[in-house]
Structures are given as structure tokens and as C-alpha cells.
Amino acid sequence: MTERILIKGGIVLTQDDSLGELNGADVLVEDDMIAEVGRDISAADAQVIDAAGDIVIPGFIDTHRHTWETSIRTCAPDYSLGAYFAGILDKFGPAYRAEDVYAANLWGALECLNAGITTLVDWSHIMNTPDHADAAIRGLDESGIRSVFAYGFPNTSLQDWWFGPDYAGSRLTTSGEEARRIRTQYFNSDDGLITMALATRGTGYCVEDVVRYEWELARELGLNITVHVAMYRFGYTKLQLRRLKEMGLDFPNTTYIHSSHLQDDEWAMVRDSGSNVSFAPQVELQMGHGWAEAVKALDYGVPIGLSSDVATTTSADQFTQMHAIFASERARRHEIAWDDGLEWNELESKLINARQVLQWATIGGAKVAGLDARTGSITPGKKADVVVIDGSAVNVAPVIDAAGAVVCAADISNVKHVLVDGNVVKRDFRLAASLDEPRKRVEASRDHLISKFGEPEAGWLTASADREVATA
């Protein structure tokens, strides 16, 4: 029997160009699908979720998060990127057991659902053993979130797996065999709630034999690639995408994370190859990656998604990302305008706006995750990934411009109802899942990981650990 849910009378920001924004509209969900969107839908047998005065949006998409780091949340608030590599990847990575990855992935995915993130790209470079991979997938699966498991590489020994002088080590083949096993065992179909991508290192970060190996592996397995590029001083002058193109590895549907210092020919390469970018604006500002080049991406017509990256250093929700990119990219344009002596009207045309930011957090993110045929907008025929934002909250009411309310006023506390794949995973501000056991597990994981490095105190993971970077 078809199960029907009617989300009734909300301000529906569909993020579907043909449907637009609808006041006092209904969304009818049948099983896992959005069946109908419009006013006065009659569905007598449906369970009703009253959304009068509330704002209905498609679920947010986080296009890149190292979910395994949820166990060590905010252990490193003051880090720049160099210290992060030394302090988090080199120190903590090797100490992770499979059970730590499971605890972190489950807790991090529940955190997403609570914050209205219905799709998560889990960038999992903690594949230290086969058990770690199984544990990561199990955590995602038990949460009920839609996700892309981006299978990465191990973090097993100091400087071994990222920036090391020679990555073509003995583990390389194992890594490929493992990727094949995961593809066959868990992702024989690309239609499930969890799908697979390949999280790679890339040019300028490791020897080119490894780059070619990983790109060819992605092609063999039919997976999209997601890769960090052009960030901080590591990526500032490397021209990583120029090199990738020279190598003939400018594959379509690749996600270039950060992309802070791409040159114009590299932006053209992203566009021409049919690829996209994921900006993590809060962490980019804090850690020194560079600016989230939203206007540049718009100029080139490159799809934009937003991402949270690391829970070690920033809050990991899409409200934070929307605030960060909205403020930083407008601040930068204002500064450029003053320096160039632009007139007011010339400046206004270069300022990003709230509706664009909301698009990037939803349908833009779905394009980046490769799932826009399935999610990212409230469109009949798509999966029912829907979020209701409380329009009566003290920090949201009175609502005048609903997109403005979501982007500029709302926060996690206003996420009232969340549906993933037609399942109500959060209702009336409460997650359906019990949090007690997952929290105990992630706290035990924290205790284990922290015990490896002594008692925390102020500055305990010294930022001076900034490592020398080998150039490949």
C-alpha cells in the first residue's frame, strides 16, 4: 500500500526553475517520491504535516566532509591547513580503529540529519584496513541518510599517503583491490540510498604514476572522482589542473574541492570537461586555503556545491557555509570595487545574492554529488528529501523574503521536520533515531583517540607542527 504524507500550506522554495517559489503550497509525498507540488492538493488518506507559516526546502547537500573526524570534533580550533595535515592526518589518522570510523560516521550522519542535510558526500581517507571501509559504510547505512561514499586512501603512517615523496608503495595495489571489492560488495547498483565515488589525491600531491593509477581505477569502476585542488600554499602555484589536462585526465563529473587558486585556463578546463567545484567557505577562511571563488565559477558556468570539510575546526552545517560564502564573496567584491573605482551599479552586478547561495546549498550540491536527477529540488518524480524550517521561531519570524530567512536568519535550531527518501527522520525538532548509544560510542572513540596523545590542554596539538611538504 502506498504511504502518503502531505506537507501542507508552507512557503515552498522548490529550487526547481519551472516551479519557483510557492506561497501556501502543499507537497505530496508517496512512499519515497515527491508526487505533486502545488496549492490545495487533496489527499484524504495522507498523513498531514502542517507547514503553515513555515518554509519548505529541499534537503541540504554537503558535498565534501571527512565524516571520520567527527570523533575529534573541534580538537583543533586554531589550526591552519599545514598544522591540520601534521596534527590531524599524521597524528590521529593512524590511531583510528575501524570502530572509531563507525562511531564517527554514524554520529556525523545523525548530525547532518539534525541540521537538515539529507545528502552527504563522505570523503573517506581513512581506509587503513578493509574493516575501516566496512565500518564507514555501516555508519552511513544505519543513520538512514542519503550519501555518496567517496572511497579514499589510508592514513596509516607519517607522510606516507599525502605529500610523501613516493606514494607508489606496496599498499597501492591493495587500495585498488579494496575499491573493487567495495564496488562489487556494496554498490553493484547505482540506485541505492548510498552510492560510491573515488576520493583521490591528485597532481602536485603525489607521484604521477599514482595519479594515473587512481584516475584509471575510477574509469574502470565507473565512479566519479572527487579531489582537493589549488588550496593554501600547497596548491597556490602548482597548476594542478593544467597538469591533469596534459596527462589527459580531465574526466567529466569530477569535483574539484576548494579550487581557491585556479588559473583562468584551469577554470576553462573545469567547465569544458563538464566538472564542478565544492567550496568549503568557513574552513577556507579559517585555515587559509584561499577565497571561495563563487563569482569566478559563475562566470565560467561551473556548478557550485558547498561543503563543511572538517568538524575538527569548524561547525559542520550548511547554514554556516551559506553565511561564510555570502559574506566573504560580497566582502571581496566590495573591496575590489573600491580599489578599481567602480560605480555602484557596476558593483551590484557582481555581488552574489541569497537565492544563489540557497541554490548552491541544495540543487547545486546535488549536481556536484552527481545526484541531481534524484534529489536537490522539490520536483515531482524526485526522491522525497525535504526539510521544513520553522517560520515562527524567535530568530526567523516575521518572514518577508523566505529565501532571505533561510540564508540569513535560520540556523540548525529551526530545522523542524526532515524527510529522507520519504522517511520522516526528524519530526517536531526531534530525530527519530535514538542518540544515546551513538553518543556513548563516539565519546568512547574520542577517549581512545585522545589517550594516544596525553591530556588535552590549551594549545595541546601545537600548531607549530606545520610540516615540510615534499613536492612530487
Contact footprint for Zn ion (CB under 5 A): 309
Query: Minimum Å distance from CB 287 to Zn ion?
Result: 10
Distance, CA of 411 to CA of 393 (rounded, Å)? 10
Query: Minimum Å distance from CB 179 to Zn ion?
Result: 19
Longest dimension (CA), the chain: 66
- Residue 430, class by beta-carbon neighbours within 10 Å (0-12 exposed, 13-18 middle, 19+ buried)? exposed
Query: Minimum Å distance from CB 464 to Zn ion?
Result: 22
Q: How many CA atoms lie within 13 A of 82 on its CB side?
A: 13
Cβ-proximal residue to Zn ion, closest one: 309
Query: Minimum Å distance from CB 34 to Zn ion?
Result: 31
Which C-beta is closer to Zn ion: that of 309 or that of 372?
309
The residues facing 33 across adjacent strands are: 30, 383
Could you tell me which of 62, 52, 4 has the C-alpha nearest to residue 24? Answer: 52
Ordered alpha helix ranges (H), 192-239: 208-221, 232-235
Query: Minimum Å distance from CB 326 to Zn ion?
Result: 21
**Sheet with strand 255-258: strands edge to edge:** 60-65, 117-124, 146-151, 194-200, 225-229, 255-258, 276-279, 304-306
In sequence order, what are the residues at sequence separation of 6 or more whose Cβ sits closer than 8 angstroms to the Cβ of residue 312? 69, 72, 73, 74, 75, 76, 79, 84, 88
Which C-beta is closer to Zn ion: that of 160 or that of 309?
309
Query: Minimum Å distance from CB 294 to Zn ion?
Result: 18
In sequence order, what are the residues at sequence separation of 6 or more whose Cβ sits closer than 8 angstroms to the Cβ of residue 338? none
Which C-beta is closer to Zn ion: that of 234 or that of 378?
234
Following DSSP, what letter does each residue of 37-102 receive, concatenated? EESS---TTSEEEE-TT-EEEEPEEEEEE-GGGGGGTTS-TT--HHHHIIIIIIIIGGG--HHHHH
User: Length of the chain, please?
Assistant: 472
Which C-beta is closer to Zn ion: that of 228 or that of 383?
228
Query: Minimum Å distance from CB 218 to Zn ion?
Result: 18
Query: Minimum Å distance from CB 202 to Zn ion?
Result: 12
Distance, CA of 263 to CA of 242 (rounded, Å)? 9
Which C-beta is closer to Zn ion: that of 309 or that of 385?
309
Which C-beta is closer to Zn ion: that of 309 or that of 317?
309
Which C-beta is closer to Zn ion: that of 163 or that of 388?
163
Which C-beta is closer to Zn ion: that of 258 or that of 417?
258
